[in-house]
Amino acid sequence: MKSIHVSTTVNGDAMEFICAPEDSLLDVLRNRMGLTGAKEGCGTGDCGACSVTLNGRLVCACLVLGAEAEGAAIGTIEGLADGDTLHPLQQSFIDHAALQCGICTPGILVAAKALLDRNPDPTDTEVRYWLAGNLCRCTGYDKIIHAVQDAAHKMRTA
């Protein structure tokens, strides 16, 4: 099958790649662009480890085709920090010990940022429901909720 040429923007940088029609955005990010921060935990949209933003909308990169990135703006975990300054969410996850193995962490951070972009002052329940699509098997989520809320507080009062 004929490959597709795609021009897109990833974390603000113009990027181009060639992909097969069936390649997922996750395949393309990881295998064509070397951006391995988004993880494949299931490939069926059930675990959220591949969470990225597509034109500002939170998506599972494993459920989006690479070809759909044409002309779009993609946001990944690699674009969350501002140079060598961590995003408040990233710092908060370290401060609150909100990660153990860390495999779900990139997806959860991207999802949490998408939440705070829409709702800077969520309740704990809102955080829990927003992150219900991101599986974490290590932490029991408790410290993740604290970390998101503390980051939200710091961002509101900054």
Partner 1 sequence: MALDNTPKRVFKVVGTRPPRPDGVDKVTGRALYGADVSAPGMLTAHILRSPHPHAAIVSIDTSAAEALEGVKAVVTAADFVRQDDGSLRDVLDNCMARDKVLYDGHALAAVAATTPAIAKAALKLIKVTYEALPHVTDVDVAMRVDAPVVQEGRSLETVPDGMSQNVTSHCEFGHGDLAAGFAKADLVVERSFTTAATHQGYIEPHACLASMTADGKADLWCCTQGQYNVRTLCAAMLGMEASQLRVTASEIGGGFGGKTTVFIEPVALALSRKTGRPVKIVMSRDEVFKATGPTVSSSIDVKIGMTRDGRITAAEAHLRYSGGAFPCGTVDMGAQSAFASYDLSAVRTLGWNVLTNRPKEAAYRAPGAPQAIYAVESVVDELCQKLGLDPLDVRLMNAARKGTRSSYGPTFDDIGLIATLEAAKAHPHYVAPLATGQGRGLSAGFWFNFGGNTCVSLNVNTDGTVGITEGNPDIGGSRAAISQMAAEELGIPYDKIRTIIADTSSLGHNDVTDGSRVTFAVGLATIKAAQDAVAKMCSRAARIWGIDEEAVVWVDGAAMPAGPNAGKFPPMTLAEIAAVSFNTGGPIAGHFEFNADGAGVSFGVHLVDVEVDYETGATKVLRYTVFQDAGKAVHPSYVEGQMQGGAVQGIGWALNEEYIYGADGRLQNAGFLDYRVPVASDLPPIETVILEIPNPGHPYGVRGVGETPIVPPLAALSNAVSRAIGTRLNSLPMSPPRILKALSKG
Q: Alpha-carbon distance 76 to 120, whole Å?
A: 20
Asked if 144 and 108 touch (Cβ cutoff 8 Å), the reply is yes
One-letter identity of residue 152? A
Q: Alpha-carbon distance 73 to 151, whole Å?
A: 25
Residue placing its CB nearer to partner 1 in the complex, 15 or 86: 86
Residue placing its CB nearer to partner 1 in the complex, 101 or 117: 101
One-letter identity of residue 58? L
| Proportion of the chain in helix, strand, coil states, percent, rounded to 5 | 40, 20, 40
Site for partner 1 in 121-140 (CB under 8 A): 124-125, 127-129, 131-140
Among the listed residues 73, 103, 154, 155, the single contact to partner 1 using CB under 8 A: 103
Q: Check residue 81 for interaction with partner 1 (CB under 8 A).
A: yes
Among the listed residues 68, 100, 153, 155, the single contact to partner 1 using CB under 8 A: 100
Among the listed residues 78, 113, 114, 152, the single contact to partner 1 using CB under 8 A: 78
| DSSP character at residue 50 | T
Dihedral of the CA atoms 77, 78, 84, 89 (nearest 10)?
0
Q: Check residue 32 for interaction with partner 1 (CB under 8 A).
A: no
Q: Check residue 90 for interaction with partner 1 (CB under 8 A).
A: yes
Residues in touch with partner 1 (CB under 8 A): 20, 30-31, 35-44, 46-47, 49, 76-78, 80-81, 86, 90-91, 93-97, 99-106, 109, 124-125, 127-129, 131-145
